[in-house]
């Protein structure tokens, strides 16, 4: 029944529904004295917000964040930051006609079975809109991490089977699908347009790259860095698979291919390849962390689907409204945010005992 918090020292707790008063987050464990403004957060929210381009939902939400606490004279105080994003374009009436039907692929049925009561206005708490709070919290974490030399970049690697063939990070924010390959981006956009025109939706793959993580970060056994990151990323609605480094492909490699050889780069120990994706035994190697998530096609499609009503009668449903035909591009900032939140928490745990680590 809990489940709305994440983290150990740097901890976020989100609240809010898609068509209620708004969405928000409390961030505890924010390091003090960090310069921080609403604008620092807004810039990230603008990357996630609906209505950015024709490949996203036409819902027009300005998603203006308010800092309610934890910042004094432009700096964090170390006490909890509360961030609130009012809902401006809520249209609960759009959902009135489905309120007694379980939309296939949505969480309507499962929420109803869990709680016995359900806010049916636009998926309520289960809406992708909840991720706005994650992005807001992630913006704070990113700013702190950047100050420590840690950078996080995510991008769309694949949409509906169309793959980026080259990774040019400077291209990502230049195209509507956030692909690092501008040619592939064009084909991806065309495919999304086509799916939407057919009343359908498509999925995709998002990859994330982390630079600047010191070696030795992460915990053994259950809180391995990759296990925490999997938890963080699998908790984003619509994510159905997670990989670190070579991921699933590792299962088809030989040990002699998979193992990353070490070499000495001056005083630094480096690996020649990075099949491990920067994490061995759950602890960072100091190489780039590389993760991928598989994002399913959005559940809201305009085609007729079979379903059942809350009173058990079989029915047909068509879900019209303001929906994303593909959420991979808008998940990019959410993935970055969750990675940032997870890594800052790990960094704080890491710092706690450095006074006892010698000679490395």
Site for its own copies in 266-305 (CB under 8 A): 267, 269, 271-272, 276-277, 279-286, 294-301, 303, 305
Q: Which of 39, 93, 170, 314 binds its own copies (CB under 8 A)?
A: 314
Distances (CA, A) of 227 to 170, 232, 342, 343: 29, 9, 11, 12
- The interface with its own copies within residues 157-186 (CB under 8 A) comprises 158, 160-161
Query: What does the angle CA 138 – CA 186 – CA 183 come to, to the nearest 5 degrees?
Result: 95
Q: Is 160 helix (H, G, I), strand (E, B) or coil?
A: coil
DSSP letters of 124-146? GGGSGGGHHHHHHHHHHHHHHHH
Token pair belonging to 341: 């939140």
**Residues 119-158 as x/- pattern, contact with its own copies by CB under 8 A:** x-x--xxx---x---------------------------x
Q: Which of 28, 38, 40, 186 binds its own copies (CB under 8 A)?
A: 28
- The interface with its own copies within residues 54-83 (CB under 8 A) comprises 66, 68-70, 72, 75-82
Specify whether the CB–CB gap between 98 and 317 falls below 8 A: yes
Specify whether the CB–CB gap between 84 and 66 falls below 8 A: yes
If one asks whether residue 51 binds its own copies (CB under 8 A), the answer comes out as no
Q: Which of 180, 203, 329, 333 binds its own copies (CB under 8 A)?
A: 203
If one asks whether residue 351 binds its own copies (CB under 8 A), the answer comes out as yes
Of 172 and 206, nearer to its own copies (C-beta) is 206
- Nearest-approach distance from CB 213 to its own copies, in angstroms: 11
- Nearest-approach distance from CB 323 to its own copies, in angstroms: 9
**Per-residue burial over 125-161, b = 16 or more CB atoms within 10 Å of its CB, e = otherwise:** bbbbbbbbbbbbbbbbbbbbbeeeebbbbbbbbbbbe
Size of the site for its own copies (CB under 8 A): 158
């Amino acid at each position: 029944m809990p489940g709305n918090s994440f983290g150990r020292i740097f901890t976020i707790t989100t609240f809010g529904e898609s068509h209620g008063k708004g969405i928000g987050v409390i961030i505890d464990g924010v390091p003090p004295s960090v310069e921080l403004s609403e604008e620092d957060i807004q810039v990230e929210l603008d990357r996630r917000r609906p209505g950015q381009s024709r490949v996203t939902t036409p819902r027009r939400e300005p998603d203006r964040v308010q800092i309610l606490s934890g910042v004094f004279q432009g700096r964090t105080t170390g006490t909890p930051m509360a961030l609130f994003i009012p809902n401006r374009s809520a249209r609960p009436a759009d959902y009135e006609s489905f309120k007694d039907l379980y939309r296939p692929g949505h969480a309507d049925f499962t929420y109803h079975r869990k709680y016995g009561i359900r806010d049916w206005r636009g998926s309520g708490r289960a809406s992708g809109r909840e991720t706005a709070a994650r992005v807001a919290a992630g913006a704070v974490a990113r700013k702190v991490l950047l100050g420590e030399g840690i950078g996080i970049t995510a991008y769309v690697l694949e949409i509906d089977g169309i793959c980026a063939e080259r990774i040019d990070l400077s291209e990502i924010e230049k195209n509507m699908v956030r692909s690092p390959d501008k040619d592939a981006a064009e084909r991806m956009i065309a495919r999304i347009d086509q799916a939407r025109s057919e009343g359908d939706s498509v999925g995709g793959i998002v990859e994330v790259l982390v630079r600047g993580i010191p070696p030795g970060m992460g915990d053994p056994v259950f809180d391995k860095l990759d296990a925490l990151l999997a938890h963080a990323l699998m908790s984003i609605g619509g994510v159905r698979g997670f990989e670190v480094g070579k991921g699933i492909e590792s299962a088809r490699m030989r040990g002699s291919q998979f193992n990353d050889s070490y070499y000495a780069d001056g005083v630094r120990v480096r690996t020649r390849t990075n099949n491990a994706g920067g994490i061995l035994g759950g602890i960072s190697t100091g190489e780039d962390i590389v993760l991928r998530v598989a994002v399913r096609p959005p559940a809201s499609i305009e085609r007729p689907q079979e379903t059942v009503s809350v009173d058990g009668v079989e029915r047909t449903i068509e879900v019209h409204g303001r929906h994303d035909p593909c959420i991979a591009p808008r998940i990019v900032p959410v993935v970055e945010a969750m990675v940032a939140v997870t890594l800052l928490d790990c960094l704080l745990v890491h710092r706690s005992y450095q006074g006892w680590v010698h000679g490395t």
